[in-house]
Amino acid sequence: MSGAGRDAADLAWVADCCLRISLGEPSAHDTLSRVHAAVHAVRRATIDGLVDITPAYATALLTFDLARLDAAQAERQVRAALLHAPDALAATPRVREIPVCYAAPCGLDLDAVATARGLSREQVIALHSGARYTVAFLGFSPGFPYLEGLPAALATPRLTQPRPRVPWGSVAIAGRQAGVYPHATAGGWRILGRTPIQLFDAEREAPALLQPGDVVHFVPIEHAEHLSRAAGAL
């Protein structure tokens, strides 16, 4: 698993307790799937002292408690786990359906996106909800999924002036990415709709609903259903 070949993983300690796995160029078509396979393989290995795994587009950062094992042991166990990463590529991904209300009160930027892309509202909704998305990684705020798979016809730059407050559950796009705001926060992505589903709940056993590698489908719902389900989620 040295860095000699294209399919090899490069391991490097970037801090006393943080080991980075590099798996290729972010632009390569298979790099993200290799990151997810590596993360799955390392997690499945249940390495003692592994505290956290933070994946990105081409890397994964592993954080260790080196009071429980030394750096050499940690690296050796990670390399052993990565030998099984190709098996994880064949695993069936978990599919999550996320309901989305695209009605005017929820889709704050839907009309602007439609105009910018030369589409109707109905075409934007059909393209957005008809796509298959993969959770690349979580970031920005707890549980925020960066989603790959946005149709090229919808690619739109983020707002030039971010909103000081984006409502929780906002389903949005920026460039070639899609995402969902789990919390009310500032943000500059263009909002196409809202979901009544809570993507992050610190009280749940698994606080983040979505995990890297999951497949996401957006399912259109009416505004009345959104209001009812959102009230029940609070």
Nearest to 21 by CA among 60, 76, 74: 60
The strand pairing partners of 175, in sequence order, are 156
Amino acid 9: pLDDT = 87
Amino acid 90: pLDDT = 60
Q: What is the pLDDT of residues 5-14, one digit of tens each?
A: 345 789 999 9
The strand pairing partners of 64, in sequence order, are 50
Low-confidence ranges of the chain (pLDDT < 50): 1-6
Q: To which residue do tokens 């839907």 refer?
A: 110
d(Cα 13, Cα 79) in Å, to the nearest integer?
13
Amino acid 1: pLDDT = 36
Amino acid 6: pLDDT = 42
Amino acid 5: pLDDT = 39
Amino acid 84: pLDDT = 80
Amino acid 88: pLDDT = 63
Q: Is 168 left (phi over 0), alpha (psi -120 to 50) or beta?
A: beta
Single-letter code of the amino acid located at 201: D
Mark 124-148 as b/e (b = at least 16 C-beta within 10 Å).
Answer: bbebbbebebbbbbbeeeebbbbbb
Burial class (CB in 10 A: 0-12, 13-18, 19+), 57: middle
d(Cα 100, Cα 11) in Å, to the nearest integer?
40
